[in-house]
Amino acid sequence: MILKYKLKKGQSSKYTTTVQSLREAKEGKYYEKVESKIEMTMTQNVIEVHSNGIIDLKVSIDSSILWKNGEEVAINKKDKIFIMKMADNGEVITTSGTETQSPPAFPNREINPGDIWTSEKEISIPSQPEGIILKTTYKFEGFEKFTNVECAKIIVNTEEVNFNLDEGVTQTIGGNGITYFAYGEGKLIKSEVNTYTRTSLSEAEIKVTTQVIVNHHGESMENPIGNDFLFAL
């Protein structure tokens, strides 16, 4: 099968996004950790679907709540809106917002359970003009029902990369995740992305782990203006 988004102009979808982060710092006997969690409700509206498969989307953050170390923190409640263009294979072409982890872009070919494909992304590092390449492998694990919807299950793994961030400072980056994609309806049902970074200097180390979970929560054709993606590797 060929996995593609099958969004329609005027389609409106609701998603919830939860981002949990843990920052740990240690040096000798010193240890400190900061836990944070943000929960967001989001609306994705499809503005236009072009004949070449490009989809114009509008994503609005309708509400958000932030906790730090278990205590709620006041944040700007004003609605935020992002405009983006996405190919029907899930590749994000342009976005007006900060780029985040997103579910996988599917290959433009027939795939079957067990098939694997890869993508590469360059990250700019001041100490390394040539940049760092993050290689991510995607595996079509098979079919699975999720929330009573028949889905293609995609396993994601970003290879661990080690590099010198500065003189005497090393950093490690890696991640993994899972995506449930409703292949019949052509929409994202769930995405989970786990990433980590470790920064080391002599005996000191800072480790940050982040988990981003996106869940689909229904849709309608009432709002004539869309995003069927967001957060996942």
The predicted-structure confidence for 133-171, as pLDDT tens digits, reads as follows 899 999 999 999 998 999 999 999 999 999 887 778 899
Domains, the chain, ordered by start: 12-220 (2.30.230.10)
Q: How high is the pLDDT of residue 98?
A: 57
Backbone phi and psi for residue 115, each to the nearest 5 degrees, phi listed first: -70, 150
Q: CA geometry: angle at 114 spanning 142 and 227, to 5°?
A: 55
Residues 116-141 pLDDT 10s: 999 988 888 777 777 888 999 999 99
Distance CA(90)–CA(73), nearest Å, equals: 34
Q: Do residues 190 and 213 make contact, with C-beta atoms less than 8 angstroms apart? A: yes
At position 48, the amino acid (one-letter code) is E
Q: How high is the pLDDT of residue 224?
A: 41
pTM: 0.85
Q: How high is the pLDDT of residue 227?
A: 42
Site of tokens 């993606």: 229
